[in-house]
């Protein structure tokens, strides 16, 4: 069997088109433009690339993008003061603090200082609690993108066996909550899980969010299963020339694609969906802040 490829890039483009159309309608009918503020602390090269890409796509769908680039030595008090001013700014509907933060800053404190209604990453304790209890919340962008692709591929997920490998607060745990919400039977695996290959082999749906290049092999995959690869790992690619690198996921794509029914590639799978969901969350936050816009 050769798996069908779940094209996250194309799906993300359709989500962005939909967001752009709704933003256009919103502006026309109410004069309100959704605004996303992104806060970047320090000079981490990967974070800089993500922030640039988020800002560019925000503008492309017709929203306002406000970038706040702060020195790595900013004090916690000054960062919290910035967040408070963004919380109070009516032109800002979504606030995203790019993680990781430098060590001297308490990430939990900073994230929980964001107004939960503007927490478009869905990491604030209130949103975590709402998601965990099945209530309307801001849903973290990466797991939301994964869920959208799974729903598009399967229709109903009810009753399917899902194994999420990874239990981080930003991917693994919210992913498991979302799958549970769609009535999957969910197992969360992690670094202490025994017989991981056997656990993964049970799954109709595998979500890999581990951060270990190509760890999940084809012979761990149940024939016909759907594989969502969240991992983004940069590895050496001597075949492309000295010092060159390439991106790979947490799944060994070549062997898994021979067994799975469907699989996301890396790059071009989960990554593009993450930013598309961020834009969608920002529009949602804007509409909730302005209930008269509910038609948008």
Site string for ligand NDP, 193-212 (x = CB under 6 A): x--x------------xxxx
Rounded to a whole number of angstroms, the minimum distance from the CB of residue 217 to ligand NDP is 12
Q: Are 66 and 38 in contact (CB under 8 A)?
A: yes
CB nearer to ligand NDP: give 98 or 137: 98
Applying CB under 6 A, which of residues 32, 149, 165, 296 lies at the interface with ligand NDP? 165
Rounded to a whole number of angstroms, the minimum distance from the CB of residue 232 to ligand NDP is 4
CB nearer to ligand NDP: give 35 or 231: 231
Q: Which range in 21-29, 185-193, 240-248, 279-287 contacts ligand NDP by CB under 6 A? A: 185-193
CA dihedral 84, 108, 116, 70 (to 10 degrees): 40
Applying CB under 6 A, which of residues 20, 70, 117, 170 lies at the interface with ligand NDP? 170
CA dihedral 193, 196, 198, 201 (to 10 degrees): 120
Whole-number Å distance between alpha carbons of 211 and 247: 12
Please spell the DSSP secondary structure of 131-155, one letter per residue: HHTT---PPPHHHHHHHHHHHHHHS
Residues with Cβ within 8 Å of 274's Cβ and at least 6 positions away in sequence, in order, are: 141, 142, 145
Applying CB under 6 A, which of residues 57, 58, 65, 274 lies at the interface with ligand NDP? 274
Phi, psi of 181 (to 5 degrees): -60, -30
Applying CB under 6 A, which of residues 110, 113, 271, 282 lies at the interface with ligand NDP? 271
Q: Which range in 21-29, 58-66, 79-87, 270-278 contacts ligand NDP by CB under 6 A? A: 270-278
Rounded to a whole number of angstroms, the minimum distance from the CB of residue 28 to ligand NDP is 32
Residues with Cβ within 8 Å of 54's Cβ and at least 6 positions away in sequence, in order, are: 36, 38, 65, 96, 275, 278
Q: Binding of ligand NDP at residue 168 (CB under 6 A)?
A: yes
CB nearer to ligand NDP: give 144 or 287: 144
Whole-number Å distance between alpha carbons of 96 and 50: 12
Token pair 């021979």 in the structure block, residue: 258
212 in helix, strand or coil?
Answer: coil
Rounded to a whole number of angstroms, the minimum distance from the CB of residue 2 to ligand NDP is 24
Contact set with ligand NDP (CB under 6 A): 142, 165-168, 170-172, 189-193, 196, 209-212, 230-233, 270-271, 274
């Amino acid at each position: 069997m050769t798996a069908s490829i779940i094209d996250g890039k194309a799906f993300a483009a359709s989500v962005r088109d939909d967001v752009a159309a709704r933003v256009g309608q919103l502006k026309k009918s109410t004069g309100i433009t959704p605004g996303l503020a992104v806060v970047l602390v320090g000079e981490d090269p990967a974070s800089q690339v993500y922030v640039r890409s988020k800002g560019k796509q925000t503008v492309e769908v017709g929203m306002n993008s406000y970038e706040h680039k702060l020195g790595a030595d900013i004090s916690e008090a000054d960062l919290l003061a910035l967040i408070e001013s963004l919380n109070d700014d009516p032109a800002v509907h979504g606030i995203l603090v790019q993680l990781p933060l430098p060590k001297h800053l308490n990430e939990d404190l900073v994230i929980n200082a964001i107004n939960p209604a503007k927490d478009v990453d869905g990491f604030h304790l209130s949103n975590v609690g709402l998601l965990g209890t099945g209530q309307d919340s801001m849903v973290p962008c990466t797991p939301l993108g994964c869920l959208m692709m799974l729903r598009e591929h399967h229709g109903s997920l009810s009753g399917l066996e899902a194994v999420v490998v990874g239990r981080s607060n930003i991917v693994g745990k919210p992913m498991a909550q979302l799958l549970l919400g769609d009535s999957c039977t969910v197992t969360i695996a992690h670094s202490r899980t025994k017989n991981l290959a056997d656990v993964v082999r049970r799954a109709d749906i595998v979500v890999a969010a581990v951060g270990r290049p190509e760890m999940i092999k084809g012979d761990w995959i149940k024939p016909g299963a759907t594989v969502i690869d969240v991992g983004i790992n940069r590895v050496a690619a001597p075949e492309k020339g000295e010092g060159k690198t390439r991106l790979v996921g947490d799944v060994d794509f070549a062997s898994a694609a021979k067994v799975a029914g469907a699989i996301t590639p890396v790059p071009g799978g989960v990554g593009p969906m993450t930013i598309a969901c961020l834009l969608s969350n920002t529009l949602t936050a804007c509409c909730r802040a302005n209930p008269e816009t509910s038609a948008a």
